[in-house]
Every structure is written in C-alpha cells, then in structure tokens.
C-alpha cells in the first residue's frame, strides 16, 4: 500500500508542477484590450425607380401617354441609359367625372420601372421630363453591387485602427505593444435608407425642389467594429 501511494505521488508531482508553470505564465502575461472601428458611405450604383405617366393638357393641347413615353425614350438616349432598362409594369385607368358632366371620361395610366447606375442619371432624367406627365415618381431601391469588397476593406481598416490605438496608448505609458492574442467581431452594420424594409412612400420625389432629392446624401452606410487583445511586451 505504501509503495502504491509513493508511486501515485510521483506521477502527480510533474502534473502539479506543470499546472503551476502555466498559471504563473498566464499571470505574468500583460494585455491591453481596444476597440477598432471603421465606417464608410457608398453612393448607390444600382438605382431602381418606378413612375406613372398620365395624359395631360399643356397650353390647350392634350399630350397623350404615347407621346410622353416617346419623350422618355428620347431622354434615355440623351443621358446614355439603355432603353432596355425601361419596362412597362402595369397599364390601368379609371373613369373621371367633372362637374356638370353626365358621362364620365376614361383616364389611362401607365406604370414603368427604370434602372439607373448613379444619382446624376436620376437627376438628368427628372430635369428633362415634363412634371405634368408624371403622376408619381418613386425610388424603389438603391443598392451597391460591390458591398463584399468594401466590407473586407473596412475590416482591415478597423483592425488597423485598433492596432494604432493600442500603440498610442502604450507609447504614452512607456510600454510597447506586442503580438495580437485575440480578435472578435463585435458589430457589423449595413444601413440602406432605400431598402425594401423602409417606407417607400417616403421616397416619392415628384415635387421635390432638389435635383437629386437627397439621394446622394443618403448613401449606404457601412460600420464595422472589432475587439482586439494585444500582449504588452
């Protein structure tokens, strides 16, 4: 029995000594924890709009929907937007009655979807289009086709920001930043004011006085934050 106890103690001793060394090593390790952040705003390069054309009267002359549609195609050619970007979505109408009329008058409407590649094209189109022909003009969505690449760049910038912050803080304390021990993503946010989850009625821009209607100032916001733990040398 005594021999067995001695054998067990001999086996246990190296394990205890190793555990103490690991604990001591962890206690001696000094670290600094910082938050690295980066953000950017991207102008959308895929802008989908919808608009409705109606018949209207200008200086006693009735302008038909077909005439307005022909003008739309001319405008698209002028601003170098492919005609294939224009699609008729719906044709509908209703019967309107004026005071004193015994019979109503059918009024047709034609709804279109149109894709632009930047804000300036939206502004040029709207500037050239007769507002009397437009019953409504809405921004349906505004996206960017290369968000993944921009997000990767933002991650690199956030990590670099954290490293620079750690270097600055430690330098002022007379210390030196060592190797990175841990990186944790704590926040990634992509905010698109023209996403389908937003109220699209707020994007109606028919009677706005601004040519770009705030679209350029409402870029796609991307924010990224990481937590970094560095060793202090």
> Based on the structure, what is the number of domains in the chain?
2
Q: Of 111, 1, 127, 94, which is closest to residue 53 (Cα–Cα)?
A: 111
Of 88, 108, 143, the residue that ends a domain is 143
What's the CATH number where 214 sits? Answer: 3.30.110.170
17-67 pLDDT, tens digit each: 444 443 445 567 999 999 999 999 988 999 999 999 999 888 888 899 999
Give how far Cα 202 sits from Cα of 73, 105, 181, 207, 215, Å.
27, 31, 47, 12, 12
Of 143, 174, 206, the residue that ends a domain is 143
Same domain, 70 and 124: yes
> Is the CB of residue 155 less than 8 Å from the CB of residue 226?
yes
Would you state the pLDDT for residue 100?
A: 66
Domain-located, residue 14 = no
Domain-located, residue 4 = no
Distance CA 29, CA 123 (A): 59
**Half-sphere exposure of residue 125: CA atoms within 13 angstroms, side-chain side:** 31
Exposure string of 4-27, with b = 16+ CB inside 10 Å and e = fewer, is: eeeeeeeeeeeeeeeeeeeeeeee
Would you state the pLDDT for residue 26?
A: 56
Distance CA 86, CA 150 (A): 29
Domain-located, residue 86 = yes
Would you state the pLDDT for residue 10?
A: 46
| Sheet hosting strand 220-232, strand order edge to edge | 31-42, 220-232, 177-191
What's the CATH number where 61 sits? Answer: 3.30.70
Of 143, 173, 201, the residue that ends a domain is 143
Same domain, 212 and 225: yes
Same domain, 232 and 170: yes
Same domain, 190 and 209: yes
Same domain, 125 and 150: no
Domain-located, residue 115 = yes
Domain-located, residue 10 = no
Same domain, 68 and 108: yes
Under the phi-then-psi rule, with left for phi > 0, alpha for psi from -120 to 50, and beta for the rest, what region is 100? Answer: left
Same domain, 53 and 165: no
Range of the domain at 135: 46-143
- Which stretches in the chain have pLDDT values below 70? 1-27, 98-104, 195-218
Would you state the pLDDT for residue 204?
A: 43
Would you state the pLDDT for residue 96?
A: 72
Give how far Cα 34 sits from Cα of 28, 158, 225, Å.
20, 11, 10
């Amino acid at each position: 029995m005594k021999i067995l106890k001695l054998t067990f103690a001999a086996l246990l001793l190296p394990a205890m000594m190793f555990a103490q060394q690991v604990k001591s090593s962890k206690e001696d390790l000094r670290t600094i924890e910082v938050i690295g952040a980066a953000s950017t705003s991207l102008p959308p390069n895929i802008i989908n709009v919808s608009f409705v054309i109606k018949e209207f009267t200008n200086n006693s002359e009735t302008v038909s929907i077909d005439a307005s549609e022909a003008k739309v195609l001319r405008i698209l050619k002028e601003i170098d937007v492919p005609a294939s970007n224009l699609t008729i979505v719906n044709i509908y109408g209703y019967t309107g009655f004026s005071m004193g009329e015994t019979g109503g008058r059918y009024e047709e409407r034609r709804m279109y979807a149109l894709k632009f590649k930047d804000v300036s094209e939206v502004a040029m189109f709207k500037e050239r289009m007769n507002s009397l022909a437009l019953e409504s003009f809405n921004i349906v969505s505004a996206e960017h086709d290369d968000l993944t690449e921009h997000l990767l760049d933002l991650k690199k910038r956030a990590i670099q920001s954290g490293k620079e912050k750690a270097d600055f803080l430690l330098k002022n304390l007379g210390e030196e930043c060592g190797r990175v021990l841990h990186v944790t993503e704590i926040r990634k946010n992509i905010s698109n004011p023209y996403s389908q989850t937003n109220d699209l009625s707020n994007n109606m821009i028919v009677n706005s006085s601004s040519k770009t209607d705030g679209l350029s100032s409402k870029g796609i916001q991307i924010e990224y934050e990481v937590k970094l733990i560095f060793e202090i040398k």
